[in-house]
Amino acid sequence: MKLLQALETDGRASFSKIAKVLGVSDQTVARRYRRLTADGGLRVVGMRNAERLGRDHWILRLRCAPDGATTIAGALARRPDTFWVGLTSGGTEVVCLTRPRTPGDREDLLLGKLPRTPSIVEIRAHQLLHSFFGGPRGWLGKLAPLTEEQRAALTPDRPRAGGGPARIAPEDEALVKALEADGRATYPQLQRATGLSESAVKRRLAALLDAGGVFVDVEYSPEMLGFHTAAILWITAAPGALHSVGEALAGHFEIAFASATAGPSNLVATAVARDTAGLYGYISGRLGQLDGVQHVETAPFLRRVKQLTYRPGR
């Protein structure tokens, strides 16, 4: 777990740096990393930060015919503009978080492809309005396996991003795509992918990370940490309490993602728990007792089809 949080803190930190902070050998870190990659679904990937880039996020809820949900989820997972695709509600609902790169992409998906898909019975699209938790802020930090000193030693020393939106220049696309394939790609590998010199790769990568337009994230199976239950929570809060409820959710141990959203409910969150009893305890306890919460719809995940990346047969 400490290695996972170390990678969440700085996914590009060298094994030697991580080993020094954790007080183990380089070989131990490398061995644990290989085991987590093979058995725990670990991947380190570069992600475009839609919030910093000024791009829209949408959550799609697709109610499907029983024999079509798995096929539709797989097709959505293969798209480069989607992540976090799962089956909920008895296997007849597909939930998908999408980041259209242009308004045309969004309209093509929402107004073109999906309405023409025969197995889709209903489409509900919810625009995310304000992020409370998720993205660069990783859930592993709530488990706190690392001390504050260890986290500080691993946290990259980067300037605070400016107030304006970040930008990925056309000449940086090859670099970003290489990071999306492997967030720990070496500088020689990034050189080959981009055709740039090593000094140019280092300079452009540092600029992208410093501006916040790109961040390095970790994908893993929560089950290997003992968390076997996850659900999407569609929460309705009183309008005047929307921000305070969102901020409270961000501080809850069980919440891995929380955002204000347009639609019938005005908050969406992902909750993780060790088991069904733990999920019930959270919903009926701290969540249900929050001032301003008026209604909660719980949709347990049956299967994750895509988290950050798509791997058939997972």
Of 168 and 102, the structure prediction assigns the larger pLDDT to 168
Residue 204 neighbours by CB under 8 Å, 6+ apart: 172, 175, 196
Whether residues 120 and 188 fall in one domain: no
Residue with more model confidence, 191 or 311: 191
CA dist., res. 220 & res. 235, Å (int): 26
Whether 122 is covered by a domain: the verdict is yes
Q: What is the predicted pLDDT for the residue at 275?
A: 96
Phi, psi dihedral angles at 125 (to 5 degrees): -115, 125
pLDDT at residue 17, as a whole number? 95
User: What average pLDDT score do residues 136-153 get?
Assistant: 85
Q: What percent of the chain has pLDDT over 90?
A: 57
Total domains in the chain come to 3
Domain that holds residue 178: 168-212
Question: Which of 157, 180, 212 is at the close of a domain?
Answer: 212
Report pLDDT digits (tens) over 72-94.
Answer: 999 888 888 888 899 997 778 99
Please state the φ and ψ torsions of residue 311, each to the nearest 5 degrees.
-130, 105
Task: Summarize the confidence of residues 249-274 as an average pLDDT.
Answer: 95
Determine the average pLDDT of the residues in 21-25: 94
What does the pLDDT read at residue 263? 87
**Sequence-ordered alpha helix ranges (H) in the chain:** 2-9, 15-22, 26-39, 50-53, 69-77, 103-107, 140-143, 148-154, 173-181, 187-194, 198-211, 242-251, 276-282
Give the residue from 183, 73, 51 showing the smallest Cα distance to 130: 51
- The candidate with the shortest Cα–Cα distance to 128, out of 239, 265, 252, is 265
Model confidence at 129: pLDDT above 90: yes
Claim to verify: residue 203 and residue 244 sit in the same structural domain: no
The CATH number of the domain where 55 resides is what? 3.30.70.920
Residues 298 and 244 in one domain: yes
Q: With bands split at pLDDT 50, 70 and 90, how would you rate the model's confidence at 283?
A: very high
Q: Which two tokens stand for residue 167?
A: 């930008």
Same domain flag for 56 and 121: yes
Asked whether residue 294 is assigned to any structural domain, the reply reads yes
